[in-house]
Chains A and B, each alone.
Chain A
Amino acid sequence: MQRNNLILVGMAVLVAVMLFFAARQSRSGQTAGGAPASGPLGLAGQTAPDFTLQSLDDKTVHLSDYKGKVVLVNFWATWCAPCKIEIPWFVDLQKQYGPQGLQIIGIAMDDASPKDIAKFAQDMGVNYPVLLGKESVGDAYGGVQFLPVTVYIGRDGKVINKFFGLKGRAEIEDIIKKALNQGAAAGL
């Protein structure tokens, strides 16, 4: 009987520990500046949701236009100070890895006018398409409650990872290099 009691207590503790870790796991996808996360909807490994948005130069852009490339989708806004830190890195990375098949896309989740967004992008020397964001696109990517949010998409069109908050340049570059190499190794 004593043994049975011990088993019962042990099971209860196990359930509680499992609940604790499950809770932490689900939260990790929503923490600003936290560990890399695949997003609340578990996007990693899934086909990236296609979108249709207008660019600053009034062109209609679909994600599917960049099929076969490694795509870095960066959700940002003119009022987001950490986003302003990343943008010059993205400019450099686009220059450096563009010829190898990287395409960076900025999606402005901004209330500012397209004119102000364009001025900001011009001041920052942005050399990749900047699209005017819609909440529905953010929702399709698991929600954009805060910025920046960066989604990495492989050459196969599947989401590699989704990051919340500012990451270091080296970390970003590392993911890009791996994604480019993965695609090359798979012969895509």
Chain B
Amino acid sequence: MKHLEEADLVLYRYGEPCDRAAIEHHLAECEACQASFAALQRVLAAVEAAPVPERHEAYGSTVWHRIQGRLHPARPDALDWAGWLRPRRWMLGGAMVALLVAAFLAGRYWPSRPAPPIAENPAEVRERVLLVAVGDHLERSQFVLLEFLNAPPQDMVDISAEQKRADDLVAASRLYRQTAAAAGEAGVAAVLEDLERVLLEIARSPSTLSARDWEELRRRIEAQGILFQVRVVGSQVRERASRPAATQAQS
């Protein structure tokens, strides 16, 4: 006798289109398939029993209060874009990035010599410096992406301001990616690589786009889910950076 396949049992269990009469007939006669179906039912029942935490009646209101300030992230009172655009500010930011990366790499590759004992392990300090710097970089990148994705729809969209900011962030992103890869932070490096690609795409597009082209570019960026990845990894990185050294070592 040819036994039922697992796929048949799954379709039957979920009431999906299948030859129900033939399956029922077989199940009535075949003990092996009965046992297999019973095992499937037990597994699915165990999965079913996993509880979902309840949310109170006013949960929707809580969510609203959490997100309402982010529905217009580019409000003038929320972000000082003019400040970020000042060349001196960018030069200072670039210099800080270079210093941080240089400090990290120097600490990692410079020949070591005896040093007085310090409270924290130097490797942990280096990791923390990297995490803080990457967290800041991801936050700045998130602002640029939000500004781009939330641009108001027009016939022609001028993205030159976002392009300039994206272009400034590309080099930093590359440096952080290489540093993160060297430090064994493959997950962070992968997200930075995706971010770099998106920032490059924005930076290399024409500075004025038709509504259609802009929508197409926006759709491509959204499809990659980069904004979400940046937000998730950014919050994880910041959380790790703020954790006490001993806790970090254990995780």
Whether A and B are associated in the same complex: the answer reads no
The interface of chain B, by Cβ under 8 A from chain A, is none
The interface of chain A, by Cβ under 8 A from chain B, is none
